[in-house]
Amino acid sequence: MPPARRVPSPNCNARPEGCAISLLVIHNISLPPREYGGDGVEQLFTNTLNAHEHPFYATIADLRVSAHFFIRRDGALLQFVPVGLRAWHAGVSNWGGREGCNDFSLGVELEGCDFEAFAEAQYRALQDLILLLREHFPGLALAGHQDIAPGRKTDPGPYFDWSRLNA
């Protein structure tokens, strides 16, 4: 996507043949947890996270995950995976009766957590991204990670304002 800073992630692969993109999954992430502005997310998605830098990192350093996009608190947009490829963001998931949401979705991570509000700049950047994506993928549905993996995931969490996004 043109306005994004590109940071290639190896944690992706080809989508199944003929699988159309129909869903945008909204997540939240902060590394270390509840701390913002660092390089932890970028390092996690590029498999360069130093397990010794923070106690929490030792528990996740071996994960091989990614998302297509990451929106920082100031609204800066990073792109880790091209939209034509499958990012590894959803895990075990189901949407509209379809299993394996990574196959047909795009993932966007918001820098944040389940315990505090997101920044106005993030909502603006997310709205702009959705408008741009819908030009290429008309009818793109929106869901939270909590919606496609209930009981397993809680993000983007109770402080994500869906009505503000849809306004």
Residues marked as catalytic: 109
DSSP state of 95: E
Beta bridge partners of 104: none
Neighbours of 4 (CB within 10 A): 18
- What is the rounded CA–CA span in Å between residue 162 and residue 167? 9
- What is the rounded CA–CA span in Å between residue 147 and residue 42? 25
Residue 11, burial from CB neighbour count under 10 angstroms (0-12, 13-18, 19+): buried
- What is the rounded CA–CA span in Å between residue 63 and residue 122? 26
